[in-house]
Amino acid sequence: MNYITTNDSEKGNPIQLAYQDFGEGKPIVFIHGWPLSQKMWEFQIPFFVEKGFRVITYDRRGFGQSDQPWMGYNYNQMASDLNELILQLDLKNVILVGFSMGGGEVAKYLGKFGSKRIEKAVFMSSIAPFMLETEDNPNAVDSSVFDGMKEGISKDRADFFSGFGRNFVAIEKHQDRVSEAQVQLNWNVALSASRKATLDCVDAFGKTDLREDCKGIDVPTLILHGDDDAIVPFEVSGKKAHQLIKDSSLKIIEGAPHGLTFTHHQEVNESLLEFINN
């Protein structure tokens, strides 16, 4: 495992992020979802390396093998972490792929740092542009849902993620596509994350308004979503992102749940490849 040191520190200790860097060619940076880690890209890494791309994955602060500070679980800081990764690896003409919560980093990075080093962007099962229902954001998610998630995590994190993980891939519908063993592995990954990070990130992905960031995106963008996503429904996020992001492309994967990188990885890989190559 490789590490970069971010521009942030806690009690004088620099915060490090774990990353992997495989292959040669145009760089693709994959940003994982909550509450997982870069391990979720197992089906994408070999596919794109073998297609001639340089594939970079990393663990968000608080997750996987990255440091687990007490603070910094907001999109401004997490976009700065992504920027440090891009700068320290001197990546150019990057394809940014953000899954679920990772879509927030894509939007905030482009809003905060611009597209100088970015060629294309992908929002996959993404929470962007704004999950929280407000007067000017109807047909979204009531704040009680996110508060309930935090309550469940605080009460019994292991039990909460047991149920969440099954819904993540809709395993009852997709037993021919994903195994109980994969669900158990995802549970183990989720529990390896910092409890504090896990809780704080609910507010980040649930209550951060990224609409202005999305409006300013000026690179070719793909919205990739499953039409059976019960965690982040397309109508709540992907549909709105497509409407906000100028000239964005839309790809709906029929029957796919939220965790489509596990259940529909072939369709995901083919959709990404087609977008990148066009």
Mean pLDDT of 172-192: 97
Residue 268 CB contacts under 8 Å (≥ 6 apart), including other chains: 43, 44, 124, 224, 253, 260, 261
Residue 208 Cα to chain centre, angstroms: 14
- What confidence score (pLDDT) does residue 103 get? 98
- What confidence score (pLDDT) does residue 162 get? 98
Say if CB 234 and CB 127 are below 8 A apart. no
- What confidence score (pLDDT) does residue 46 get? 98
Say if CB 126 and CB 33 are below 8 A apart. no
- What confidence score (pLDDT) does residue 166 get? 98
Look up 247 and say whether it is catalytic.
no
Share of the chain above pLDDT 90, in %: 100
- Please give the model's pTM, rounded to 2 decimal places: 0.97
Under the banding of pLDDT at 50, 70 and 90, the label for residue 260 is very high
Write b or e for each residue in 132-149: b if 16 or more Cβ atoms lie within 10 A of its Cβ, otherwise e. bbeeebeebbeeeebeeb
- What confidence score (pLDDT) does residue 251 get? 98
Tokens of 45: 């890494």
Burial of 11 (C-beta count, 10 Å sphere; 0-12/13-18/19+): exposed
Beta-strand pair 54-58/13-22: antiparallel
Residue 69 Cα to chain centre, angstroms: 20
Q: How many CA atoms lie within 13 A of 230 on its CB side?
A: 11
Of the residues 258, 264, 265, 271, which is catalytic?
A: 258
Tell me the one-letter amino acid at 214.
C
Under the banding of pLDDT at 50, 70 and 90, the label for residue 48 is very high
Tokens of 78: 């997490």
Of the residues 37, 66, 80, 100, which is catalytic?
A: 100
Query: pLDDT (tens digit, 9 = 90+) per residue, 194-223?
Result: 999 999 999 999 999 999 999 999 999 999
Query: pLDDT (tens digit, 9 = 90+) per residue, 116-144?
Result: 999 999 999 999 999 999 999 999 999 99
What fold is seen in the domain 2-277?
A: Rossmann fold (3.40.50)
- What confidence score (pLDDT) does residue 145 get? 97
Of the residues 59, 194, 229, 237, which is catalytic?
A: 229
Side-by-side strand order, sheet with 118-124: 2-10, 13-22, 54-58, 27-31, 94-99, 118-124, 221-226, 249-253
Look up 237 and say whether it is catalytic.
no
- What confidence score (pLDDT) does residue 115 get? 98
